[in-house]
Amino acid sequence: MQYENSISFARRMDRNDPLRSFRNQFHIPKVNGKPALYFAGNSLGLQPRSTKKFLNDELDDWAALGVEGHLHARRPWLYYHKLSKKALARLVGAKTSEVVAMNQLTVNLHLMMVSFYQPDVKRFKIITEGGAFPSDQYALETQIRFHGFDPAEALIELTPRDGEHTLRTSDILAAIERHGDQAALILLGGVHYYTGQYFNLKKITEAGHQAGAVVGFDLAHAVGNVVLDLHRNAIDFAVWCSYKYLNSGPGAIAGAFVHEKHAQRFDLPRFAGWWGHNENERFQMKKGFKPMAGIDGWQLSNVPIFQSAAHLASLEIFQQAGIKNLRRKSLLLTGYLDFLLREIDSCENDFEIITPSVPEERGCQLSILFRKNGKKVFDRLTKAGIIADWREPDVIRVAPVPLYNRFEDVFLFAQKLRNSIT
């Protein structure tokens, strides 16, 4: 793509964008009475206009039916978790029996590790990325302690080479091989929350399996952002949240994937609840847990209907747009941001883009590391009507989201950034 640094070029790109009408399906927040330039979809996605209707349907059905809504609501509550399966399966490249919406992300991570982190004296290590999101770090640390091991010894955190910001795939693979005979679990983010690096899930999974380890991913920053192929990549398990790119609202219901190869592994340790029990006899209130096959057997509780209604509203939009089309636009949109940032005269003195420059190694987010005055620049941008994301100590994360961001937004961001630096 031959990009141009002009508003007319950006507007032309918007006019030719086959997905441009999707922006109208979202509420765009306002700053000082004007639509904000919203680049924080990697933190909290915007509200679809349809969400209110989905929630109101459930409020109305609850008002009209009370407990009868479990069977007689428009979308009967008893089976609600089944309604999101098709769209989730398409988003992450899975079978419907491999995915379910449930709980919150960190809860799901723990549930998966209960089943898939089974350390013994020989194999007890977990390989992960250094500087993982704190909740993941805490989950890993406490799971290791729970099994009586010492995180200082059992947790292998991979860090970039000196002078580099992101991990080389070859270094990840080499580390897996090096620790191979002691590695019980490889657990990485799909897209790193801080640097925006999109890891090579396929190669990492192959290397992990070669070493005899289980491989799982936290897809918080990957789902709805990049095209995933969890089933074909033979990934053992994955977890994600849906308040970022999946636009399902603050504290929204999370998701989980367990590969079909584990569907009948009733021998795996797990923490159970009644929603994971054989659904044909769930209400017989009998003793003795009999898990359902597949991911459904990891469910604990009955479905939170309001969160799930908001989730369905958003997933419907993904079904209409198609994740491959979104990714195609995303590559162009983030490519344009990258181009414009590099056009800023003083760029090398003031900041550095730490996200990989190769488009296939990143999602939509670019992380801009400031050499000086980063927070000041961020505050000026905020005043200028930009909603982005500041991460201590010195990074602004900017995520142009293909569902609702325009090329014009990206152009204006770069212009405002240039003005905020000087």
Ligand X SMILES: Cc1ncc(COP(=O)(O)O)c(C=O)c1O
417 CB-contact burial (10 Å; exposed 0-12 / middle 13-18 / buried 19+): buried
Closer to ligand X by CB, 108 or 182: give it: 108
> Which residue number, 191 or 340, has a Cβ lying nearer to ligand X?
191
CB of 92 to ligand X, least distance (A): 15
Whole-number Å distance between alpha carbons of 159 and 156: 10
Among 237, 159, 162, 150, residue whose Cα is nearest residue 194:
159
Which phi and psi angles does 392 have, rounded to 5°?
-60, 145
Query: Residue 165 CA to chain centroid, in angstroms?
Result: 21
Q: Measured at CB, which residue is nearest to ligand X?
A: 106
Taking the complex as a whole, the smallest distance from the CB of residue 193 to ligand X amounts, in Å, to: 4
Closer Cβ to ligand X, 196 or 208, answer by number: 196
Comparison of 265 and 391: residue with beta carbon closer to ligand X = 391
CB of 245 to ligand X, least distance (A): 11
Least CB distance from residue 149 to ligand X, whole Å? 22
Sign of CA dihedral 376, 379, 381, 387: positive
Least separation in angstroms between residue 220's CB and ligand X is: 4
d(CA 224, CA 390): 22
Least Å distance between CB 399 and ligand X? 12
Question: Among positive and negative, which fits the CA dihedral 128, 132, 133, 137?
Answer: positive
Buried b (16+ CB within 10 A) or exposed e, 170-180: eebbebbeebb
CB nearer to ligand X: give 196 or 276.
196
Instruction: Please state, in angstroms and rounded to a whole number, the distance separating the CA atoms of residues 49 and 60.
Output: 18
Instruction: Note the residues at the interface with ligand X (CB under 6 A).
Output: 104-106, 133, 135-136, 189, 193, 218, 220-221, 241, 254
Judged by beta carbon, residue 193 or residue 404, the one nearer ligand X is 193
